[in-house]
Amino acid sequence: MLTIEIVSDVVCPWCFIGLRRLSTAIELVRRDIPDFHCRKLWLPFFLNPDTPPEGEPYLPFLVAKFGSRERVEAIFERVREAGREYGLEYAFDKIALRANTLRAHRLIHWAQQRGDAEVLVERLFVAQFQRGEPIGDLGLLAAIAGECGYPADEVAAYLASDRDVELLRAMEAEIRAVGIRSVPTFIVDRKRVVVGAEDPAVLAAAIRETIARG
């Protein structure tokens, strides 16, 4: 089965759109190859690696990064416009904190050891961009895991420990070491790389070319 690795961060708004565009691309491929199936595997990327463990105010960080409130609002509107095509409504005004995403990445990693984590990843994006929930919070992450069918108590104990902390940091460092600097990035069966939340047609072409190469 073909594997699509998705390098992303749950505080990246374009990664949410990228997930929708990938799903559309897969449907395009299935028009030609009805029995096409793939495995999605998420790889960690820390968009803001300097974020304090407890997080920090969201809007002031963005204003400092982009230079003005007006520029930030223009970026928000561009994302909203791109998201609407895929049924996504962003609620940036609800986001109070810029979260440290190490725990969220650990949770995704933990879930992937147990099967497909797409439902969980989707829910984390909803928490961040549609509900404004603090996705660095241990209790919230355990509750989200419970909503997605995982044992919340087991997840809470895992996240409260330091298990896989260094592993996730090493994985992220390895991703950067091979030259990946932006997200989302899609790695198709370790043969093709598509950088950015590209149009579904571009992603579908990469998938078809990978299948053709065998």
Residue 154 in contact with residue 176, Cβ under 8 Å?
A: no
Tens digit of pLDDT for each residue in 6-46?
999 999 999 999 999 999 999 999 999 999 999 999 999 99
Q: Which three-class secondary structure state does DSSP give residue 177?
A: helix
Residue 19 in contact with residue 186, Cβ under 8 Å?
A: no
Residue 140 in contact with residue 62, Cβ under 8 Å?
A: no
CA dihedral of 181, 187, 192, 196, whole degrees rounded to 10: -50
pLDDT given at position 154? 98
Q: Which three-class secondary structure state does DSSP give residue 193?
A: strand
Could you tell me the residue ranges of all domains in the chain?
2-213
Strands of the sheet containing 192-195, edge to edge, are: 38-44, 2-8, 185-188, 192-195
Homologous superfamily assigned to 2-213: Glutaredoxin (3.40.30.10)
pLDDT given at position 99? 96
> What is the pLDDT tens value at each position of the chain, 214 positions in all?
899 999 999 999 999 999 999 999 999 999 999 999 999 999 999 999 999 999 999 999 999 999 999 999 999 999 999 999 999 999 999 999 999 999 999 999 999 999 999 999 999 999 999 999 999 999 999 999 999 999 999 999 999 999 999 999 999 999 999 999 999 999 999 999 999 999 999 999 999 999 998 7
194: closest CA among 76, 12, 25? 25
pTM for this entry:
0.96
End-to-end alpha-carbon separation of the chain, Å? 11
